Amino acid sequence: MMKTLEILTAALFCAAAFAGTAPAKPAAGRTASGHCKVRLVQWNIHIGIDMTFRWNLKAQADVLNRIGGDVVVLNEVDKNCRRTGYTDMTGALALLTGNMFHQFGAARALPPEGLYGNAVLSRWPMELVGAWPIPSPAYESRSMTLVKIAAPAPFYVAFTHLNHRKAPEENLIRVAAVRKIDELISQNCKDGLPAVIAGDFNCVPGSDPVKALEEAGWTLGTPLLTFPSKKPRVSIDHVFFREGMVKLENRFTVDEKNASDHVPVVNELVIFRSTPQKKGKK
């Protein structure tokens, strides 16, 4: 059973109830003794709006089906919002991509009844650990959601979307946000299992927020140009992990210029059940 989501800021941070639909079967050949291979996809889907400014969730589902991710982290996701036809975008994409397990994490309310935030889809069952507000500018609240994936080698996924403006004070907010994310993971992942952080960080490699996570022991996955999709020129969609428990075998973008304003990113990971020993060491 998933744990009850901690209510931190009234209804705003009540994530949607875990959707325990029948799981899709994990891809064949992805498991081995002592470790599990995971294809983790991350994508800012621009609330389902394509580059012709049409709402086109089906096209985004088609892209995800071609990629074939085991776990999919999504940014800019609506739930029951007037502007996107009161659609549960997380549930719809889960259904269109093979009836995947799914979890929405709210970041802010959009009246009358809508929520906006991030989401994760998984071929394996998952447990919602919690969703929390993180440091954000006054004009737009942000959040981090943490789930535990019941893969053959279980692991945690933390997903988030940081503020985007370039002013110095906004950079300070991003630094505070990633420090809060690191703190929340440390407080809530006490069983020694690996964790991965993924999302749209709105900051480039070498920036203060990225350095703050690296100083806390996180490794930045290979930087890739992800925005804008028509001609990517900035690297802002990142994945972080801790060396030893997670290995990044490959990371690449998908050449998809039309379905969203970001391109999808594929992370081919190896999740270890325990820290692998180096050869020659006992």
pLDDT per residue as tens digits for the range 189-208: 999 999 999 999 999 999 99
> CA 53, CA 41: separation in Å to the nearest integer?
23
CA Rg, the chain, in Å? 18
- Nearest Cα residue to 200 out of 16, 47, 35, 30: 47
The answer to whether residue 19 is domain-embedded is no
Q: How far apart are CA 209 and CA 257, in angstroms?
A: 28
Determine the average pLDDT of the residues in 68-72.
98
pLDDT in tens, 18-37: 333 334 444 433 554 689 99
- Return the DSSP state at 49: B
pLDDT at 12 over 80: no
> Does 8 map to a domain?
no
* % of the chain at pLDDT higher than 90: 84
Is 137 a domain residue?
A: yes
Confidence of residue 282 (pLDDT cuts 50, 70, 90): very low
- Asked whether residue 116 is domain-assigned, the answer is yes
Does 243 reside within a domain? yes
Domain span holding position 116 = 33-272
What is the model's pLDDT at position 33?
62
Q: Taking the complete model, does pTM exceed 0.85, yes or no?
A: yes
The number of folded domains in the chain is 1
- 63 domain residue, yes or no: yes
Give the model's confidence band at 144: pLDDT under 50 very low, under 70 low, under 90 confident, else very high: very high
- Residue 59 to residue 260: CA distance in whole angstroms: 9
Q: Identify whether 169 is part of a domain.
A: yes
Residue 8 has pLDDT above 80, yes or no: no
Question: How crowded is residue 142: how many other Cβ atoms within 10 Å of its Cβ?
Answer: 24
Provide long-range contacts, Cβ within 8 A and 24+ apart, for 170-173: 170/137, 171/203, 171/207, 171/208, 171/209, 173/135, 173/136, 173/137
What is the CATH number for 177? 3.60.10.10
Higher pLDDT, 281 or 78: 78
282 belongs to a structural domain: no
